[in-house]
Chain A
Amino acid sequence: MTVELGDTGSRIHQSRIRLKYNWWLGNVGSRFYRELRDRCKIWGIKCPQCQVVYIPPKENCPKCFCQMKDWVELGNTGTLITYTVVRYPLPSIQPQKPPFALGIIRLDGAHTGLPHLLGEIDLEKIKIGMRVQAIFREIREGNLLDIKYFKPLEE
Chain B
Amino acid sequence: MERVAIIGVAQTKYRKNSPSSHDEMAFEVAQKALEDAGLSIEDIDNTVTCTNDFWDGRTISCMTITDASGSSKVPTTNVEGDGTLGVLMGLMRILSGHFKTTLVVAQSKGSVGIPGLVTNAIFDPLYERILGLDAINSAALQARMYMSKYGITEEQCARVSVKNHKNAKNNPYAQLPLDITVGDVLRSRMLADPIKLLDASPVSDGACAVILSRESATRTISRRPIWIKGVGHCSDTYHLGDRDLSDVSALKSAAKRAYDMAGISNPLKEISLAEVYDAFSYMELMWMEGLGFCDRGGGGALVDSGFTEMGGSLPVNPSGGVLSAHPVLAAGLARIAEAVLQLRGEAEARQVAGAKIALAHGIEGACGQGHCVFVLER
Chain A residues packing against B (C-beta within 8 Å): 5-6, 8-10, 17, 21, 23, 25, 29, 54-56, 62-63, 81-88, 90, 92-96, 100, 102-104, 112-117, 128, 143-145
Contacts and interface: CB of A to CB of B under 8 A. Distances in A.
Chain B CB within 10 Å, residue with most, of A9, A86, A144: A86
A54 B240 CA distance: 12
A143 B237 CA distance: 22
A102 B148 contact: no
A82 B141 contact: yes
B263 interface: no
A10 B242 contact: no
A99 B148 CA distance: 22
Contacts, number: 113
A94 B245 CA distance: 22
Shortest Cβ-Cβ A-B pairs, 7 listed: A10-B19, A113-B241, A84-B140, A94-B132, A8-B19, A82-B145, A62-B237
Interface of B: 17, 19-20, 57, 116-117, 120, 125-134, 136-137, 140-142, 144-145, 148, 189-195, 237-242, 245
Contacts of B190: 85, 87
A116 B240 CA distance: 11
Contacts of A81: 145
Given A83-B141, A114-B241, A128 B134 contact: no
Nearest to A105: B241
A17 B118 CA distance: 12
A144 B130 contact: yes
B15 to A, nearest CB: 10
B131 A87 contact: no
Contacts of A6: 17
A103 B133 CA distance: 10
B125 A29 contact: no
A86 B20 contact: no
A117 B240 CA distance: 14
Given A5-B17, A87-B190, A93-B129, 4 more contacts: A62-B239, A86-B140, A112-B239, A115-B141
B241 A93 contact: no
A88 B120 contact: no
A115 B245 CA distance: 12
Contact of A95 (B20, B131, B148, B191): B131
Nearest to A81: B145
A62 B131 contact: no
A32 B331 CA distance: 39
Chain A CB within 10 Å, residue with most, of B116, B127, B131, B190: B131
A117 B131 contact: yes
10 contacts: A9-B19, A87-B191, A90-B117, A92-B117, A93-B117, A93-B120, A95-B132, A112-B239, A128-B145, A144-B127
Contacts of B238: 62
Contact of B125 (A21, A55, A82, A94): A21
B9 to A, nearest CB: 26
Chain B CB within 10 Å, residue with most, of A21, A63, A90: A90
Contact of B128 (A17, A82, A115): A115
Contacts of B125: 21, 23
Nearest to A104: B241
Given A17-B57, A86-B137, A115 B145 contact: no
A8 B21 CA distance: 13
Given A82-B141, A82-B145, A93-B116, A104 B240 contact: yes
Contacts of B17: 5-6, 8
Contacts of B128: 115, 144
A10 B20 contact: yes
A82 B129 CA distance: 18
Contacts of A55: 241
Contacts of B19: 5, 8-10
Nearest to B148: A128
Given A23-B126, A55-B241, A82-B245, A93 B192 contact: no
Given A23-B126, A25-B126, A90-B120, A82 B148 contact: yes
A14 B25 CA distance: 19
A74 B143 CA distance: 28
A88 B191 contact: yes
B195 to A, nearest CB: 8
Contacts of B140: 84, 86
Given A62-B237, A102-B137, A83 B144 contact: yes
Contact of A102 (B116, B126, B132): B132
